[in-house]
Amino acid sequence: MNKILRVLFRPVLNLFEKGAEPYDYKPLNRKILLVMGLLFFGLATAVAYVAPHGDGFGFLIPLCVFSMVGFVCIIVGVLGNDRAVAKIWGNR
């Protein structure tokens, strides 16, 4: 199952997994990345719940941004290798 999901999300994972430079990985970084992904999905859910009651479609921008950031955090946190997690945190 993991191999199938890695193939499916290869375009996202390739952005973060490529490179040969050294990196500093800590297992806590992956856990924090997963928690941040859940928090961003929570923000997107809150925007989707509260904003449609207002006027206009201005809520779509934060909804899309929070959803995409949450999606990338969860995908890299679950399927990404150690280099991808370190690259998100900017560790060198």
Tokens, residue 53: 């009651």
Q: Is the confidence at residue 60, as pLDDT, over 60?
A: yes
| pLDDT higher than threshold 80 for residue 61 | yes
Cα-to-chain-centroid distance, residue 40: 9
Q: From CA 13, how far away is CA 72, in angstroms rounded?
A: 9
At 65 the pLDDT is 96
pLDDT at 74: 96
Global pTM reads 0.86
One-letter amino acid identity for 37? Answer: G
Question: How high does pLDDT run on average in the chain?
Answer: 90
| Angstrom distances, CA of residue 76 to CA of 20, 21, 53, 58 | 18, 19, 33, 29
Report d(CA 20, CA 58) in Å as an integer: 41
Q: Given pLDDT bands bounded at 50, 70 and 90, which one contains residue 38?
A: very high
Domain boundaries, the chain: 22-89
Q: Residue 82's CB: how many other CB atoms inside 10 A?
A: 16
Q: Which two tokens stand for residue 76?
A: 């890299």
